[in-house]
Amino acid sequence: MEKFKESNKKMRSLIADFPQNISAALEIANDHPLSTKYPSFNNVVICGMGGSGIGGKLVASWIENEIEIPISFCQNYTLPNFVDNKTLIIASSNSGNTEETLSAITEAHQKGASIIAVCSGGKMETFCKKWNYECILVPGDNPPRTTLAFSLVQLIHIFTELKLISTKKIAEFKIASELLIANNEEIHAQAKDLAAFIDNKELIIYSEAKDETIAIRARQQFNENSKILCNHHTIPEMNHNEMVGWYGGSNRYAVLFLDTEDWHAQNKKRLAFSMERIATKTDSIQKLKSKGETQLIRSLYLINIIDWASLYAAEKNDVDSIYIGVINNLKASLQN
């Protein structure tokens, strides 16, 4: 259990910084108003991978009922064909060197799209300077999955500055930060319970459809920090396919339901039915409840619990929560 103590100690510090990172990110946003005069847009495409990319999906889920133009995502080397000079491209890469995202913004430049970048420097900053695109710089040098607060705040800041959403949303971050600090002990207790609950089982995470990005973030954290595989699905969609698959379910699965307590009335019925039926196949079922008055705040609350749980699971299994050697090996092989 002591083998990766120092590495996990660093991860502990990085996760603990999450509420303070929100405050620091708000200061960066306040100091960087957008200076370019932009045209009206027909659509937005957010480009980003992994820990940098998940921020865009979270933000889109929070503003989808307010923004009046569609948001799409590019997690590949090439952009959708519809991208043109009426498209806003938001590129998010903590390192500034993510090759898929760099490829996408190069294509966006060729198509005449507007580009705004969020990064810590690297080739992306150089690209933006060369072509006079706005680039908001955020802290680097740490794993992108630990710098989520910076991308989230800057993305909301961009949408606010462009008057695509109201100013109310960005104010919720301060409330979220204060809530996380005030509930620190409870959050750690829930995280430890969750790590013990997994107990070397195959983890399946379910959420309501509007909260799928929280489930994706959870899956990513258990993948990278805990070094375990897990799956996720959403209600109501899983009721149309995966529910039948539970005929083959067993106690080897641990099932986690993410409950934001603001589910659609029909989905609440689906949740109760799903839990009842799954309980006939496995007794490892847990519901993780959030706190907060808005979707943004509830999302950050659950994310913080899961981040801690992924570290506690890493410590329990004696694995290095920071190590991502296989990803680094992949990147090196792509250069050959």
- Can you tell me the distance from the alpha carbon of 36 to that of 116, in angstroms, rounded to the nearest whole number? 10
Phi, psi for 167 (deg, rounded to 5): -80, -5
Catalytic residues: 224, 240, 331
Per-residue b or e along 291-308, where b marks 16 or more CB atoms closer than 10 Å to that residue's CB:
bbeebbbbbbbbbbbbbb
- Can you tell me the distance from the alpha carbon of 320 to that of 15, in angstroms, rounded to the nearest whole number? 15
- Can you tell me the distance from the alpha carbon of 115 to that of 316, in angstroms, rounded to the nearest whole number? 43
Q: In degrees to the nearest 10, what's the CA dihedral of 283, 300, 102, 67?
A: 110
Q: Is 262 exposed, middle or buried (0-12, 13-18, 19+ CB in 10 A)?
A: middle
Task: Report the interhelical angle of 295-316 vs 5-16 (nearest 10°).
Answer: 170
* Residues 257 and 207: beta-carbon distance below 8 Å: yes
A 10 A CB-CB count for 205 gives 24
- Can you tell me the distance from the alpha carbon of 155 to that of 29, in angstroms, rounded to the nearest whole number? 9
Stretch (H or E) spanning 202: strand 202-208
The amino acid present at 118, given as its one-letter code, is V
